[in-house]
């Protein structure tokens, strides 16, 4: 394999030579520059994998270079170093497209770890692009610059080559299905089938038939034999969305299929062999359900061999603008419209909002705004966020736990809906039965509508 190619831009000779020598000693090819002009000439000439640049240079700053370099090579990671770090400068650097902002002096080992991590992320992105080149896939599950999303990407990358079940935890609209498809597209089963079955809202009989299939005459209306998702997904990935809503009567049958790699269609006496990798997701607390005896403990331990948690948007507000920009570009392409920008006040409104519906809600808000606004810029009033839900600022001033925040939010929605649970569940983006479960857990008393 060719060595990674690094460009170091630093006007202090001792610092520059020290970083260069250390990276070269760790099997990397390094070019050096001490000015913006020379760095631009080098970058135009040749294919760097990572750029490490001091903020202050004799003929400018690295923030002057950053937009030029991103136009030439959008995917090349950019690390900015500075001896006088500030939050405002860091925010500006990240907003301009820098992957990392480090305060000097930087330890050589720490820089090496960071460079290697960025190289690994770059390799994963390229693999994903190859897998989805023929048909553009859904939103990248790792878009953003937050430490939480980078940690999720790192954890997911470590799970790619294993065949153990994966449990994806996350709130409604957080992108659990997107992450499941990414695991398939980048794993060893990428050439095989990906099947998706949502366990929420299906009756026990329908869910069992969808999962295991049935023989002709197995029940009233079964006029033909039918393959279940386990058969369809043989050698590939079976994704069970919202597994926490699975009927308890079906859970032992799924466990048997996972443990013994065999199952039976409804109405059949013959065991069928199946080789799948299971990915499951839920927005519910399965541990709590195990304690409440509504989810089997043995199935929980089996499906949660490997666990990934997608952080909600409110925990990573620094990612919201990048996600919003990606969504807007996608909507513009779909509508055949020129690119639309967000005004500064609209950007602030997006970052201040709690986003209980996460990515799904963000996408819906921006798409609705695009339909209603025909200009080339979205203003804060176009977003329709006023009065919809509490802001992050309000939540922070109350200093409440996440569980208490959830309770307060559900109570507000119920109050607005005059205690109509069906309407409240629709606003909250969850199944009616799931909302009743949350009411019980959170101790909110209400009569059934």
Distance CA(201)–CA(204), nearest Å, equals 10
Which of 205, 203, 199 is closest to 218 using CA atoms?
205
Task: List, for residues 121-168, the tens digit of each pLDDT value.
Answer: 877 765 555 444 434 444 589 988 899 999 999 999 999 988 899 999
Distance CA 93, CA 234 (A): 47
pLDDT of residue 101: 80
Pairing between β-strand 56-57 and β-strand 60-61 as defined by DSSP bridges: antiparallel
This prediction's pTM: 0.58
For position 197, what pLDDT does the model report? 92
Strands (E), 283-385: 306-309, 341-342, 377-378
Report the pLDDT value the prediction gives residue 1, as an integer from 0 to 100: 45
**What is residue 137's predicted lDDT score, i.e. its pLDDT?**
45
Q: What is the pLDDT of residue 85?
A: 63
Residues of the chain with pLDDT under 70: 1-2, 45-47, 85-86, 125-139, 387-404, 446-449
Calpha distance 62→52 (Å, rounded): 9
Q: What pLDDT does 269 receive?
A: 79
């Amino acid at each position: 394999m060719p060595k990674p190619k690094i460009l170091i831009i630093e006007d202090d000779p001792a610092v520059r030579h020290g970083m260069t020598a250390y990276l070269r000693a760790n099997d990397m090819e390094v070019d050096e520059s001490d000015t913006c002009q020379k760095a631009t000439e080098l970058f135009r000439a040749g294919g760097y994998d990572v750029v490490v640049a001091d903020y202050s240079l004799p003929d400018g700053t690295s923030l002057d270079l950053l937009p030029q370099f991103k136009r030439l090579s959008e995917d090349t990671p950019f690390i900015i170093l500075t001896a006088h770090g500030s939050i405002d400068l860091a925010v500006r650097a990240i907003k301009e497209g820098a992957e990392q902002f480090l305060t000097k002096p930087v330890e050589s080992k720490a820089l090496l770890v960071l460079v290697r991590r960025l190289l690994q992320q770059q390799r994963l992105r390229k693999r994903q692009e190859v897998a989805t080149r023929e048909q553009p896939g859904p939103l990248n599950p790792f878009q953003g610059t937050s430490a939480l999303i980078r940690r999720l990407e790192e954890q997911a990358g470590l799970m790619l080559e294993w065949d153990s079940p994966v449990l994806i935890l996350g709130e409604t609209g957080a992108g659990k299905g997107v992450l499941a498809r990414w695991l398939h597209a980048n794993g060893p089963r990428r050439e095989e089938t990906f099947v998706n079955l949502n366990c929420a809202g299906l009756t026990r009989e329908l869910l069992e038939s969808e999962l295991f299939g049935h023989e002709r005459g197995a029940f009233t209306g079964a006029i033909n034999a039918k393959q279940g998702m386990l058969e369809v997904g043989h050698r590939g990935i079976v994704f069970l969305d919202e597994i926490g809503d699975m009927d308890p009567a079906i859970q032992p049958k799924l466990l048997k299929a996972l443990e013994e790699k065999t199952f039976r269609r409804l109405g059949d006496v013959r065991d069928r062999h199946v080789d799948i990798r299971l990915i499951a997701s839920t927005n519910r607390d399965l541990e709590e359900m195990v304690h409440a005896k509504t989810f089997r403990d043995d199935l929980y331990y089996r499906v949660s061999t490997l666990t990934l948690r997608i952080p909600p948007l409110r925990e990573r507000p620094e990612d919201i603008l990048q996600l919003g920009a990606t969504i807007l570009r996608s909507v513009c392409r779909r509508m055949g419209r020129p690119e639309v920008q967000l005004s500064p006040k609209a950007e602030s409104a997006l970052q201040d909002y709690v986003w209980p519906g996460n990515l799904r809600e963000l996408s819906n808000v921006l798409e609705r705004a695009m339909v209603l606004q025909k200009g080339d810029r979205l203003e804060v009033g176009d977003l329709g966020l006023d009065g919809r839900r509490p802001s992050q600022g309000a939540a922070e001033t109350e200093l409440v736990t996440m569980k208490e925040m959830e309770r307060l939010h559900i109570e507000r929605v119920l109050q607005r809906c005059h205690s109509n649970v069906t309407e409240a569940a629709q606003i909250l983006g969850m199944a009616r039965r799931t909302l009743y479960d949350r009411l019980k857990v959170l101790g909110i008393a209400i009569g059934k509508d």
